[in-house]
Structures are given as C-alpha cells and as structure tokens.
Structure 1
Amino acid sequence: MALITDASGSRAATVTPSDTLDLSIPSGLNGTKYICVGVSGDLSVITSGGDTVTLKAVAAGIFHPISVRRVLSTGTTATGIVAVY
C-alpha cells in the first residue's frame, strides 16, 4: 500500500538569503516543501538534513521540491526567492 502525503503547501514567505540565519520555519516542520525563484540562477542552501549544496542554474517559476533550512547569500545568484511550507 502506498503512503499518501499532502504535497501542497499551506504557507509561504519571501526569502532573504543569509549565511548566518535559518529560515523562519513554521512550528512542527523541519524545512521547506518547495523553493521557487523569480529569476534563474544558482541557489546555495543548507538542506533540512544538514547538507550544504549549490543547485546550479535553478529555473525560474518552478516549484522545486527541496527541503531546506537556510538559503545562503554566498553562492546564491537567483533572486525573487520564495519558500513554501
């Protein structure tokens, strides 16, 4: 039997990249459900699992299913970033 989960987001917030501050994640969650960018570019993040990675050439206008706790300013060139929870 397949596990069915709710993939929709119920909250969203504009992201200001920071090398020192985690996102303001709603209570009960450990990261984002999706990240969307308004202008394509690289997106440097710390995932909910603690990995630091740079996603190259992230496409604009698409909801990217990645759970992150921080969007880093160093290495991020994408703009208009929105986190969906």
Structure 2
Amino acid sequence: MPSSPDAYAAFTPSPSAPARRLEAVTPSDGADLPSLAKALYVGAAGDLKVVPVASPDGEAVTLKNHPVGYVAVQTRRVLATGTTAAHIVALFD
C-alpha cells in the first residue's frame, strides 16, 4: 500500500497545531515526562496534579475534578500523589 502524504507536515509546531506524537503517561512524583508536553488528554475524570512548563520553582498545581478531555497546559510532570484521573496521554509536537 502506498504511503499517504502527511497533510500536517507544513503546520508550524504550536499549542494549537495537531499533535504529532502521543505517549501514555505514568504519573511520577520524581520524574519529568520524557519531553515537554504541549497538552494532555484525560481518559477518566479525577484530580490532575501537574507541574506546568514555566512553573516557578517547579511548583505543582492541582486541577480538581477534571473531566474527560483535553488539558490545554504545557506540562513538565504529572505527579502520582494527588492525581486520581486516569488514562492520561501526553501530546507532543
């Protein structure tokens, strides 16, 4: 089967551009994501404790009772302690 052209290859990487890579997230109190995520997707609602990319001193923020759906926050880390949301996926350029 011939490969199809990449319709999104010309998009400039930005928060609003389509994600080009996805990775399941294993929340961790001690390890950052392998790359800075442009956004997250939550597959099961709950609290989501994250360290945003530009957080001063790596301060974490809890998004209480986040519904299923996208989290438009560039994220460095998803913490295990304080996160009850599940099936989290990181979106990358």
If the TM-score is normalised by the length of the shorter chain, which range does it land in? 0.7 to 0.9
- Cα distance between partner residues in 2 of 1:14 and 1:53: 20
One-letter amino acid matched to 1:45 = V
Q: Alignment partner for residue 59 of structure 1, among 63, 67, 83?
A: 67
1:45 offset after TM fit, Å? 0.6
- Cα distance between partner residues in 2 of 1:78 and 1:5: 27
Unaligned ranges ≥5, structure 1? 26-30
- Cα distance between partner residues in 2 of 1:46 and 1:5: 21
Match of residue 9 from structure 2: none
SS in 1 for 2:73: coil
Match of residue 5 from structure 2: none
Unaligned ranges ≥5, structure 2? 1-11
One-letter amino acid matched to 2:42 = V
1:5 offset after TM fit, Å? 6.5
Structure with higher Rg: it is: 2
TM-score w.r.t. length of structure 1: 0.82
TM-score w.r.t. length of structure 2: 0.75
One-letter amino acid matched to 1:17 = P
SS in 2 for 1:20: coil
Match of residue 91 from structure 2: 84
Match of residue 7 from structure 2: none
- Cα distance between partner residues in 1 of 2:70 and 2:85: 14
Please give the residue correspondences for 1:6-85 in structure 2 after superposition, counting only pairs within 5 Å: 6=14, 7=16, 8-25=18-35, 31-50=36-55, 51-60=59-68, 62-85=69-92
Q: Among the aligned pairs, what percent are the same residue?
A: 41
More strand by share: 2
